[in-house]
Amino acid sequence: MRGSHLEVAEIFRGYGERFLKRWGHTVSPQQRKALQDISVCRTAALGGHVEECDHCAHRRIAYNSCRNRSCPKCQSTARDRWLAERAQELLPVPYCHVVFTVPKELAPLALQNQRCFYALLFRAVAQTLLEIAANPRHWGARIGFLAVLHTWSQNLLLHPHLHCLVPAGGLALDGSRWIPCRRKFFLPVKVLSRLFRGKLLAFLGTARAHGKLQFSGQLTALADPARFRAWLHQLHQREWVVYAKPPFGGPQHVLKYLARYTHRVAISNGRLISLADDRVSFYWRDSKDGKRLKVMTLEAVEFIRRFLLHIVPPGFVKIRHFGFLANRNRSQALALCRQHLASAISHHPTAEVLTQQQRQAMERRCPVCQRGTLRFLAWLSVAEMILRRDSSSIAPGMDSS
């Protein structure tokens, strides 16, 4: 039995071949690549590199990282750099956290049409928030927000949903002033839910009409246009789940939220408990039981299958910005927001974005003198790393940047 140091990579190495024998015929190229990358991340199989401090000349040798965005060990540096950039865009106002969830019946369609489905999900959510906020009966304001795609539930099953982080207010439609939202209220969730439901189902209907959706396996019957329309109609009769947290905190709280929800993968190594008798045990929170912390045990092959459900197509952007935070006009819009807010709201100093340890890792700070920066000197081959591994002269757990 393995304890708290168990990693996803170890499960992949031990049971990857068994998984492929059972499920290989269903595995996509990007899923197969993730399986391979994570298995060899920070091992001799990827070779290594030599770094030297530019102040004290300390040298160290480290394994190379796989840099796969689904790898639990390769997200921290990318996340910290991204957080440092986002900190410059925070406004001195409370923020709202809104989650848009689709019914479980749509999960198989999402799995078979990931690029199309997830793009439409972003589009439906963006239009819903922007239209309702712009309605004079609600805010009459142009808002901006960040949306992050998650595809998993705590038990690793497919559960597509978007987390949105929204400044609690927006620009007047003519840009003349900042309009705050009410202190304990963002936007009506029933209105959000029903408009979101209508938009996503309408987008799916149009995508099917233009031949952009595929149907196989349990969804084969939906290839018939009449059946697909009837299926969408059934989904339209249900209430969809949209959760909106009341406006909270300022930059400090926002950064914690960003760190929690961006650059995440299906499960972190920290949630793993043990690997014994070909079974993996891990912690999960049961949303149907008051989010109580429980332990789930799965066959190792099933664990891998569930993990790989959440590998999205190559190049697909999982973090997107909309409204006045959209890339094309973000700088000008933020400047205008700050201009209006300067006279209306006292400035909140931007919180310290990263811990000292995070900053040192991101800056490649020397672990010996704490003053210099580690500079790349040379790549090392697989054979060289195997020799050094056997002589235990490799810095454990180091990332390559």
Q: What are the tens digits of pLDDT across the range 52-76? A: 999 999 998 889 999 999 999 888 7
Instruction: Report whether pLDDT(297) > 60.
Output: yes
Tokens of 377: 């000197």
Coil, helix or strand at residue 51: strand
Report, as an integer, the average pLDDT of 217-235. 96
Backbone phi and psi for residue 269, each to the nearest 5 degrees, phi listed first: -60, -30
CB 181 within 8 A of CB 201: no
| 202 alpha-carbon distance from chain centroid | 26
Amino acid identity at 270: G
DSSP letter assigned to residue 365: B
DSSP letter assigned to residue 182: P
Tokens of 372: 């210099």
What is the crossing angle of helices 8-23 and 300-308, to 10°? 90
Report, as an integer, the average pLDDT of 43-58. 92
Q: What pTM value is reported for the model?
A: 0.89
Write down all domains in the chain, each with its CATH number in brackets.
8-71+358-390 (no CATH), 89-266+309-344 (3.40.1310)
Contacts of 350 (CB under 8 A, 6+ apart): 87, 90, 251
Per-residue pLDDT band at 257 (split at 50, 70, 90): confident
How far apart CA 168 and CA 258 sit, in angstroms, is 16
Instruction: Report whether pLDDT(353) > 90.
Output: no
How far apart CA 92 and CA 251 sit, in angstroms, is 7
Coil, helix or strand at residue 348: coil
How far apart CA 234 and CA 66 sit, in angstroms, is 44
Query: Among 281, 311, 280, 312, which residue's Cα sits nearest to residue 15?
Result: 280
